[in-house]
Amino acid sequence: MNIKKIEIDIVERNLEFVGDNVFQSSGVTGGIVHQGILRIFSENGFEGNCIIGSHRGDNLSKINSVKNLANIILGDSIFSSNNIWHMLIKRPKFSINRFTIDDFSAFSSIDVAIWDLKGKILNLPVYSLLGGEQKKIKAYGTYQPRHIDPDGYVQESDEIKNLNLKAYKIHPGPMETKKTISMIEKVRKNLGKEFTLMIDPNNSYDLKKSLDVGESLDENNFFWFEDPIAWDDLTGIEKIFSKIKTPLAMSDQIDFNFKELQKYIYHPFPQIIRGTSRKLGITGLMKACAIAESKNKLCEIGTGGNIYFNMANIHVTSSINNCIFYEYWMPTSSADFATIEKIDLDSKGKVTASEKPGLGISLDENWIKDNIVDRIKIF
């Protein structure tokens, strides 16, 4: 069964600004955002979906990359979609035929939509196709950096706790070392010793700050220390690993994709590898998790940036044994749009994959009609 046609509805949203008083290299959520609603159709009329782009900035270049890649796969078999992965991974990053970050994102959207399509055709949820089963997954709440003082994060931790979440990942932004350590101590005291805590400074620390903050993490029993320094600074990573007990989790840095995993798998550090369907699709994410598992490492899956990637992350987590958490990115309105279903927490702060065919979420055609600004058709 082959791919018959592909359509992309370009929609426009005006998002409320989040954390606009705190610098971060990846930008601030808010303002006008363009994203694509991807529709991949089979010969027998089934439709698989994904959203192109995430909750930050403009995504028109990503949409253009999906359009280009869609022209290549039109007419291909839906059930040999792994060929797209092989085509992508063989392309060099630095040549006239190079694949860019946007091209990896394009692959991810197409791959997730095809898995959704396969599940609908076979009348099975994606986790079943992946060999998994429905299970409840612990979620941790997190925001992008929003505060410039410790008390702001204490208030944020109350918000997390009030959602019945049992885990909280802090994005501390550029706070100076003393304030960061004070914040770590205050949040731990506020939430109690049983609450699971993580911290992610988004690769912004130098080695000294990493070690100073890491010592405080040890004293306050944090579950992981995510991306303190650049992902490819192996000398620095090894020094942090040798000095602190808190496990290192790496890397959500934008240029860390699949081939970069080889930097980590032959070392005991980091203890936790990061991945997400937003960068690898379902196909690549399953491969990354398997590589991590082969080295007895966790592969903790990061936010997808839109509801389709987030649900794909849940289906993958339901199909592997080395991911503990779901990243519950807030505010959820930044990612939950254009669909009828949403990703909800249960009373114990957990999420569950849908039992419906495919990813188990359906497009809200009325919302799309009200917000569409352009449409691309590929036959």
Report domain extents, the chain: 3-123+361-378, 128-351
**pLDDT of 22:** 64
How is residue 363 annotated by DSSP? B
The CATH number of the structural domain formed by 128-351 is 3.20.20.120
Question: What are the phi and psi torsion angles at 339 (to 5°)?
Answer: -130, 155
| 16 or 46, which is more confident | 46
Structure tokens at 97: 């035929």
- pLDDT at 47 exceeding the cut of 90: yes
Q: Within 13 Å of residue 176, how many CA atoms lie on the same side as its CB? A: 2
Q: Which are the contacts of 375, defined by CB distance < 8 A and separation ≥ 6?
A: 7, 8, 9, 10
3-state secondary structure of 48: strand
- Tally Cβ neighbours within 10 Å of residue 46: 20
Please, what is the average pLDDT of the chain?
Answer: 93
Ramachandran class of 199: left when φ > 0, alpha when ψ lies in -120 to 50, beta otherwise: beta
Tell me how far apart the alpha carbons of residues 238 and 217 are, in angstroms, rounded to a whole number.
17
Tell me how far apart the alpha carbons of residues 19 and 345 are, in angstroms, rounded to a whole number.
23
**pLDDT of 321:** 97
Q: Which of 10, 40, 36, 37 lies closest to 119 in space, CA to CA?
A: 40
Q: What pLDDT digit, counting tens, does each position of 243-252 carry? A: 999 999 999 8
Q: CB–CB of 349/139 below 8 Å?
A: yes
26 pLDDT band (50/70/90 cuts)? very low
Tell me how far apart the alpha carbons of residues 11 and 14 are, in angstroms, rounded to a whole number.
10
Q: Which are the contacts of 104, defined by CB distance < 8 A and separation ≥ 6?
A: 88, 257, 279, 280
Tell me how far apart the alpha carbons of residues 154 and 186 are, in angstroms, rounded to a whole number.
7
- Tally Cβ neighbours within 10 Å of residue 194: 7
- pLDDT at 202 exceeding the cut of 60: yes
Q: What pLDDT digit, counting tens, does each position of 268-308 carry? A: 999 999 999 999 999 999 999 999 999 999 999 999 999 99
Q: Answer yes or no: CATH 2.60.120.10 is held by domain 3-123+361-378.
A: no
**pTM of the full predicted structure?**
0.96
Q: CB–CB of 22/3 below 8 Å?
A: no
3-state secondary structure of 179: helix
**pLDDT of 20:** 55
Q: CB–CB of 283/108 below 8 Å?
A: no
- pLDDT at 25 exceeding the cut of 60: no
Q: What pLDDT digit, counting tens, does each position of 327-344 carry? A: 999 999 999 999 999 999
Residues 67-78 have a mean pLDDT of 92
Residues 184-197 have a mean pLDDT of 98
Q: Which of 35, 4, 30 lies closest to 374 in space, CA to CA?
A: 35
Q: How far is CA 241 from CA 169, 199, 303, in A?
A: 20, 15, 25
- pLDDT at 324 exceeding the cut of 50: yes
Q: CB–CB of 219/204 below 8 Å?
A: no
How much of the chain, in percent, has pLDDT values that exceed 70?
95
